[in-house]
Amino acid sequence: MGAPGTSYWTGSVLVFNTTSRGMSVYLDDEAGAVSFGSYLGYSVGAGHFLSPVTSEVVGGAPQYNQRGKVFIFTLDSNLLRVVSEVSGNQAKLLEAEFQLTGSDAYAARFGETIADLGDLDDDGYHDVAVGAPQEDDLKGAVYIYNGRKDGISPSPSQRITGSTLGRDLRMFGQSLSSGIDIDDNGYQDVAVGAFLSDAAVVLRTRPVIKVKASLALPEQIDQRVALCSEHKTPTVCLNVTVCFSVWSRQFRGAIDLQYNLTSDLLHKPSFPHRFYFHGNGSSNSTRGQKDVRDIFTPVQFEVSYSLRESNHRASSKTFPPLKPILQQSAGHQNTITNQTQFARSCSLVNCSTNMQLSAELVLPHQQQYFALGSGQTIVLKTSVVNSGDDAFLPRLTLHFPNNIHYIKVLQNQDNLVSCDVTQETNSTMVVVDCSVTSLLLPADAQLNINFLLDVNQNSTPGDINIHVNTSSDNYERGEYLHDNSKSLLLPLKYGVNINIHGFVNPTSFVFGDEDLTPVNCYTETFNYTYKVLNSGPSRSLDTVVEIVLPKILTPYRHRLLQVIDLQFCARGDELCERLVCRLGSLEAGRDATIQLETRLNPTVLLQAPGRHSIMTLESTATISSPREDPHTILVQKHPAVQVVVEALFTQKPSTTVKVFIIVVSLVLGLMILAALIWCLWKAGFFKRELQKKEEEFRRHSWDYVPKSSERESVS
C-alpha cells in the first residue's frame, strides 16, 4: 500500500504480510533519492519482475520533480532494519538500482497509475504498465515496460496514446486495470481510463510466438574441392542449413513464417560477392564465384525472419482473433549470423600474420635537424616485412600534425601505392592512409614505400612526432603487434648562418705636439660601416649586434672618442663605448647595414702613456643574438669583426731649433765647399797646361793665322 502524504508529501511504500503480520516500510529519511512533494506511493503494484520466485514492489511518485517517476523495491530479509514494531517477522524494503522516468516530460504525472500485466511476452518475467495522464498537454500516455532477467527494462517497449488508437482522448492513462483475460487468448488485457473524455479503452494482448533459429555452415571452404557443377564445369559450393523451432503457449492457429538469407555480408565494397544462390532461390546450395581474390575475409551469412502479414477471417465470437507477434527478447532482433572461412595452408596458429615495420627520416644534407626556411623536402623511408602468413590488403598509415605536408609517394616498379589524405575531425592531425594495388603481401615478403614530405616554413621550432602504423585485413596475434608501429621524431630548428663585415674611413690619421688643441675638441672624423648578412637557411630572430669602441684612455678621464651619428643603436656607459643594435628578424638572404660616425680628440693621445709612434684603435662588432639554444643552430659560432684605425705620431721642432738647424747646416755646407775647393787646387785642377799645348799645335798647322794686336789691326 502507499502513503503519499508522509514526510511532507514525500511519500512512502508499505507492504503488509497478512500471514506473518509483518510490515515493510520504505521511508526516504536518509538516502534522499525521493524529493519533497513527490507523492511516492500514490500508486503501487507488485509482481515477479526480477525473478519468477521473488516478488518486487512498484511505487509511483507522480510529482517527482514535477515530472513523475516510478521506483522498484525488493523485499530482502537478510538486511533488517526495524521501521515499525509489528509482531511477526520483519523485512526491509530496499530500493532497486533502476528507476523508470518515461519521456521525462514536465507535469506529466508519470507513475500516477501502475498495473501489473503479468507475463505478456512469455519470458518468465512480469511486465508493468505505467500511466502518465497529463503528458503532452493533458492528452496522456501509457508506457509498457518488460521484465527481464536483470530487472525491468529502463526503456519502454511501447508508448500508447489516444492518437495511436485513432481517438482524441484526454488524460489517457488516468486509471489502469489489469488481471482479466477478456478475449480468452491466455494473456492478460488492460483497461485504460481517459478521465477528461469520459471514456475507457480496453487494450488486448496479442499472442506471442517464440522462434528459435539456427544457421549451419561448413567449417571451411576448400577451393580445390568442387562439389557442384555449372554448365558442366566443376564449381565450388557449400551447403547452408537453416532451421526454425516455433512454439507458442496459447496460439493454436497456422503460423506463416518468412525469412531472408543473405550471403557474404563481410565482402569488401571494392570486390564482388564471393558466393551467390543458384536457381530460383529455393535451393540450399550456395555457389562461389570464379577467381576469388579475397580468401582471407570470413564469409558471413545472416538469416532474418518475421511473421507474414495475413488477413484473419471474421469470427462469430465477440472479439476477433489478434495477429500473433514474435517474442522480443533482450538484445535479440530476430536475426542470426554465422560465418566460415576459406581453407588455407598456414604456418602459424589461426593463420596469423606477423607484420614488422621499420621507418626512418632522411633529412637534407644528412643533418640531425630540419632547418626551417630551407625550402627542402624530407624523405620518410618505410619497410614492411611479413614474417607470418599471407597478409591481405596490407595498409600503411601515417599520422602527423598539419604543419607537415604530404607531397607524394616515391613510386617504384614493384609496387603501386595509392594514398588518401584526410584530417581528423576537431584535430590538427593529418592521416595518410595508403594501400598497395597488389592486394597481397605474401609470407616472407618485403614492402618498401618512401614518402616525400614538406614542412610549413612558418612552423614553430620544436619536435614533431610522426606516427607510422601497418596493418592488414588478416588476423595478427597480440604478441606480434609490438612492431607494427613506429614513432619518429622530427626536430624543427632555426639554422642560422650570420656573417658580419666592417670597415672604417679613413683608416689612419696623424697627430703631433704642434696640433695642441683643447681636450674637449674633437678634430678627427671617422665613418664606421658594419654589414650583417644572414646566409640562412632560416630567419634570424631578434638579431642583436654589439659594437664596442674605445672611449676613455685609462687612467685619464678625458674622453677619447665621441659618437656623432649612429643608426639602429642604443648607447651604453662604460670605459668603452658599447652600442647595442637591435635589427629584429633578419630573413635568410637579407642583410642589414649599420653606419656609425665618430669624432676623435687627438690631444688625449698626447698624454702619457698614449704618446707612441703608432697606436691602434680597435672597434669590435659581435653578434650577441640569436644564441644557440635547443631551437636554434648557429652554423658559424660567435661571429664577430674588428675594425682598426691607426694613429701615427709625428713630432715637429720649434722655430729656434729650426733657425739653429739652418745656420749650422749653412756653415757646415760652406766648410765642406771650401775644403773641396782647396783639395781641387792642391790637386792642380786650376793649372791649364792643356791650353798651351793646344796653342803650340795650332801654330804648326797650315791654316794658322797669328793674332795681331789691336794696334796692328787698325793700321
* Rounded mean pLDDT, 325-347: 82
Q: Which of 93-102, 430-439, 555-564 bottoms out in mean pLDDT, i.e. has the lowest?
A: 93-102
Residue 350 in domain: no
Q: Calculate the alpha carbon distances from 466 to 401, 424, 491 in Å.
A: 8, 15, 11
Residue 57 in domain: yes
Decide if pLDDT at 95 tops 50.
no
> In the prediction, which pLDDT does 53 show?
66
What confidence tens digit (pLDDT) does each residue in 249-308 have? 888 778 888 999 998 888 887 777 888 777 665 555 666 666 667 777 889 999 999 988
Residue 351 in domain: no
Look at 654 and 324; give whichever has higher pLDDT: 324
Q: Are residues 127 and 213 in the same domain?
A: no
Grid cell 537478510 — which residue? 78
How many residues in the chain? Answer: 715
What is d(CA 374, CA 537) in angstroms, rounded to the nearest whole number?
A: 5
Decide if pLDDT at 597 tops 90.
no
Residue 80 in domain: yes
What confidence tens digit (pLDDT) does each residue in 668-689 have? 999 998 888 888 877 777 666 6
What is d(CA 330, CA 338) in angstroms, rounded to the nearest whole number?
A: 20
Long-range pairs of 119-123 with CB within 8 A, sequence gap ≥ 24? 119/147, 120/144, 120/146, 120/187, 120/188, 120/205, 120/208, 121/146, 121/208, 121/327, 121/328, 121/329, 122/208, 122/210, 122/249, 122/327, 123/147, 123/148, 123/327, 123/329
* Rounded mean pLDDT, 14-23: 60
**In the numeric block, which cell numbers belong to residue 335?**
536475426
Q: Are residues 671 and 561 in the same domain?
A: no
Decide if pLDDT at 351 tops 60.
yes
Element (H or E) spanning 138, and its range?
helix 135-138
Decide if pLDDT at 312 tops 60.
no
Decide if pLDDT at 414 tops 80.
no
| Burial degree of 519 (CB within 10 A; 0-12, 13-18, 19+) | middle
**In the numeric block, which cell numbers belong to residue 497?**
648562418
* Rounded mean pLDDT, 436-459: 86
Q: How many domains does the chain have?
A: 5
Q: Which of 466, 493, 520 is the endpoint of a domain?
A: 493
Q: Are residues 63 and 181 in the same domain?
A: yes
Look at 6 and 611; give whichever has higher pLDDT: 6
Decide if pLDDT at 560 tops 80.
no
Q: Which of 119-128, 349-358, 377-386, 649-658 bottoms out in mean pLDDT, i.e. has the lowest?
A: 649-658
Q: Which of 11-20, 94-103, 442-451, 691-700 bottoms out in mean pLDDT, i.e. has the lowest?
A: 94-103
Residue 24, classed as helix, strand or coil, is strand
Query: Tell me, what CATH number does 256's domain have?
Result: 2.60.40.1460
Q: CB within 8 A of 548, min separation 6: which ones?
A: 576, 577, 578, 579, 619, 620, 621, 622
> In the prediction, which pLDDT does 85 show?
24
What is d(CA 550, CA 556) in angstroms, rounded to the nearest whole number?
A: 13
Bridge partners, residue 332, by sequence: none
Element (H or E) spanning 9, and its range?
helix 6-9
**In the numeric block, which cell numbers belong to residue 667?**
756653415
Please state the separation of Cα 408 from the chain's center in Å. 21
* Rounded mean pLDDT, 302-328: 76
pLDDT tier at 343 (50, 70, 90 boundaries)? Answer: confident
Residue 485 in domain: yes
Look at 41 and 442; give whichever has higher pLDDT: 442
pLDDT tier at 382 (50, 70, 90 boundaries)? Answer: very high
Residue 101 in domain: yes
Q: Are residues 27 and 160 in the same domain?
A: yes
> In the prediction, which pLDDT does 90 show?
33
Q: Calculate the alpha carbon distances from 425 to 422, 429, 430, 456 in Å.
A: 9, 9, 10, 21
Decide if pLDDT at 650 tops 80.
no
Q: Are residues 188 and 245 in the same domain?
A: no
Determine contact, residues 591/534, Cβ cutoff 8 Å: yes
Residue 531 in domain: yes
DSSP per-residue string spanning 586-635: E-TT-EEEEEEEEEE-GGGGGSTTS--SEEEEEEEEEEEESPPBTTEEES
Strands (E) in 133-255, as ranges, are: 141-145, 147-148, 151-152, 158-160, 172-180, 189-194, 199-203, 208-216, 220-221, 228-230, 233-235, 237-239, 241-247
Mean pLDDT value across the chain: 77
What confidence tens digit (pLDDT) does each residue in 491-538 have? 988 888 888 888 888 877 777 666 556 666 777 788 888 888 888 788
> In the prediction, which pLDDT does 162 show?
84
Please state the separation of Cα 314 from the chain's center in Å. 68
Q: Which domain holds residue 379?
A: 356-493
Q: Which of 617, 649, 681 is the endpoint of a domain?
A: 649
Percent of the chain whose predicted confidence (pLDDT) is above 90: 14
Q: Are residues 611 and 684 in the same domain?
A: no
pLDDT tier at 214 (50, 70, 90 boundaries)? Answer: very high
Residue 347 in domain: no
Element (H or E) spanning 643, and its range?
strand 640-649
Query: Tell me, what CATH number does 160's domain have?
Result: 2.130.10.130
* Rounded mean pLDDT, 178-190: 88
> In the prediction, which pLDDT does 194 show?
92
Look at 87 and 491; give whichever has higher pLDDT: 491
Sheet containing 56-61: give its strands across. 43-47, 56-61, 69-76, 92-100
Torsion of CA 312, 313, 319, 322, to 10 degrees: -10
Q: Are residues 183 and 220 in the same domain?
A: no
pLDDT tier at 372 (50, 70, 90 boundaries)? Answer: confident
Q: Which of 143-157, 178-192, 360-374, 550-564 bottoms out in mean pLDDT, i.e. has the lowest?
A: 550-564
Determine contact, residues 275/340, Cβ cutoff 8 Å: no
Look at 696 and 531; give whichever has higher pLDDT: 531
Q: Which of 612, 633, 649 is the endpoint of a domain?
A: 649
Q: Are residues 534 and 549 in the same domain?
A: yes
Strands (E) in 443-574, as ranges, are: 446-455, 462-471, 485-496, 498-505, 508-511, 524-534, 540-550, 561-566, 569-571
Q: Are residues 20 and 159 in the same domain?
A: yes
Sheet containing 172-180: give its strands across. 172-180, 189-194, 199-203
Query: Tell me, what CATH number does 387's domain have?
Result: 2.60.40.1510
Q: Are residues 506 and 599 in the same domain?
A: yes
Torsion of CA 73, 77, 82, 83, to 10 degrees: 20
Q: Are residues 335 and 447 in the same domain?
A: no
Q: Are residues 430 and 286 in the same domain?
A: no
Amino acid letter, 242 = V
Element (H or E) spanning 663, and its range?
helix 655-682
Element (H or E) spanning 668, and its range?
helix 655-682
Amino acid letter, 257 = L
Decide if pLDDT at 713 tops 60.
no
